[in-house]
Structure 1
Amino acid sequence: MDWDREARTGLPEAVFCAGKTPAQIDAILAEARAAGRRVLLTRLDPARRDALAAKEGLDYDAASATAILGGPAPARPGRIAIVTGGLADLPAATEALRTLAFCGFAGELVADVGVAGLWRLLERIDAIREVDVVIAVAGMEGAIFSVLAGLVTAPIIALPVSFGSGVSAGGRLALDAALGSCAPGLVAVNIDNGFGAAQAAIRMLSPRGGTAQNAGPS
């Protein structure tokens, strides 16, 4: 584990559990407990979670496939809205929410306001305009990315998700919609990368250097 990452970058280390064995994850958790470290685990599916030898103290959320050891960080200033086109987008959106909470930010979820029922978004738009950063989450054609980027002044981070059918399957269409948007200033992360979207939002809110101490190599 790169325990010095936060000192260098202002962003904490996390454990990407996909592809790791339960024994490897147990070893990482044992190291963290021995050192008194907080840890965020992502892509921890229920089967791997159930196979862990030491699950005590793990705050597990099956919907987002995340777990937190050691609780959230102290509250930090800044308002981040996570806006989803549909309820099927919630796994990636919740991963972003949990990442924000781990880092001390209270994300505000605005769910199921996609362009197929545009009035739902317009009913919430005044509240969305009050936040500092917006993470827009969508599959299918990803239309909500450009719509939001044309309506609010806050930075918009497009988070495409793999939900969809036909040409939308796998999330590539939503990603291409974000990359090809005519709305200026829209940025995007990779498909289903709720963790990365949350970390990008935190960077946008942090002062230059974040919590890093400009440390050199340890």
Structure 2
Amino acid sequence: MMYDSIIKDVLEKYNNGLIKLEEAVEVLKKLPYEDLGFAKIDYNREVRRGYPEVIYCEGKTPEQVREIALRMYEKGSNVLGTRASLDHFEAVKEVCDKVVYYDEARIISIRTDEIKKTKGVIGVVAAGTSDLPVAEEAAVTAELMGNSVKRIYDVGVAGIHRLISKIDELRSFRVIICIAGMEGALPTVVGGLVACPIIAVPTSVGYGANFHGLSALLAMLNSCSSGVSVVNIDNGFGAAYSASLINKIGE
């Protein structure tokens, strides 16, 4: 593990007289978390959860995101920031030219090491083109977490033949993230066709009585298909995190 190597390196430097005891203690103190004043970076998240802490950029200033991302990168951690704007990206780019911005997904990423892709595939299935920002947040997050991902977009129930034509592919996935707005019917339909777990994501796409995604959320929570779990409105990231945990079982 990354943190084991840090501890070993610090102890070797101390034993060889390259750093003082106070300096060694200062480094080790930052392993659980580092207090930046405006944020406490949880460096042990990867040890506990299998993936480093993720930066939720919305509501944070570009300078705050830049500082958090830089500190994580300097510690050798992969960096993932969700709901990131171009201003957040440009700020991080000032201090790290390895940063990548995924425009539609609104994600920034810095890779310090490559993660081996899973054998199992996560399917990201979206009802309509208007759902793509949430779908891409899910797909990109899952990919950056080391998963093999396949996208199937614009297969909503208004033209159900589009979905039926993909049935063999749907049945090949280990877990499916199913994304829909309006009345949120797609996960229930998919749930009647496949045997794998389904994580449903309601989106805020829809007209007035959609209530900014509430109608889709309630419909998905009341799904008559077994094996359908539901995350919050527009939460593509949360769906991808759960799907990744499921997909990596046994790998």
Would you say same fold, with TM above 0.5?
A: yes
> Is 1:57 matched with 2:114?
no
Q: How far apart are residue 55 of structure 1 and its match?
A: 5.2
Q: 2:125 aligns with which of 75, 83, 92?
A: 83
Greater RCO, 1 or 2 (C-alpha within 8 Å, sep 6+):
1
Q: CA separation in 1, counterparts of 2:102 and 2:245? A: 25
- Displacement of 1:144 after TM fit? 0.4
- What is the aligned length? 209
Pairs within 5 Å for 1:1-218:
1-52=41-92, 53-54=94-95, 56-70=97-111, 72-207=114-249
TM-score (norm 1): 0.90
Gaps of 5+ in 1: 211-218
Q: Tell me the distance in 2 between the aligned counterparts of 1:74 and 1:113.
A: 30
Which range moved further: 51-60 or 137-146?
51-60
TM-superposed CA distance for 1:103, in Å, is 1.1
**Is the 1:11–1:199 Cα contact (8 Å) retained in structure 2?**
no
Q: CA deviation at 1:36?
A: 1.9
State the AA in 2 paired with 1:27. E
* Equivalent residue number for residue 215 of structure 1: none
Please list every run of at least 4 consecutive aligned residues from structure 1 whose deviation after the TM superposition is greater than 6 angstroms.
none
Q: CA deviation at 1:156?
A: 0.7
Please state whether the residue corresponding to 2:177 is helix, strand or coil: strand
Q: Distance in 2 between matches of 1:3 and 1:33?
A: 11
Over residues 58-94 of structure 1, what are the superposed CA-to-partner deviations in whole Å (9 max), with x where a residue is unaligned?
1101111001101652222211100000011111111
Aligned-pair distance for 1:23? Answer: 1.1
Q: Distance in 2 between matches of 1:75 and 1:3?
A: 23
User: Kindly, what percent of the aligned residue pairs are identical?
Assistant: 40
Q: Deviations over 1:159-203 (max 9, x none)?
A: 111111111141111111110111122100011111110111112
Please say if residues 140 and 169 of structure 1, whose CA atoms lie closer than 8 Å, have aligned partners that are also in contact: no
Q: Distance in 2 between matches of 1:76 and 1:61?
A: 21
Structure 2 unmatched ranges of 5 or more: 1-40
Contact 1:163-1:169 within 8 A present in 2 as well: no
Once residues 42 and 80 of structure 2 are traced to their aligned partners in structure 1, the CA distance between those partners, rounded to angstroms, is 13
Classify the secondary structure of the residue corresponding to 2:242: helix
Which whole-Å CA distance do the structure 2 matches of 1:10 and 1:56 have between them?
26
Matched residue of 1:107: which SS? strand
CA distance in 2, matches of 1:145, 1:174: 10
1:32: Cα distance to partner?
2.0
How large is the RMSD of aligned CA atoms in angstroms? 1.6
Which has the higher mean CA deviation after the structures are superposed, 105-114 or 169-178? 169-178
Q: Please state whether the residue corresponding to 1:153 is helix, strand or coil.
A: coil
Instruction: Indicate the SS of the match to 1:50.
Output: helix
* CA distance, structure 2, for counterparts of residue 176 and residue 66 of structure 1: 28
- Aligned counterparts of 1:44 and 1:8: Cα–Cα separation in 2: 25
SS in 1 for 2:224: coil
1:74 maps to amino acid? K
Shift in Å, 1:126: 1.2
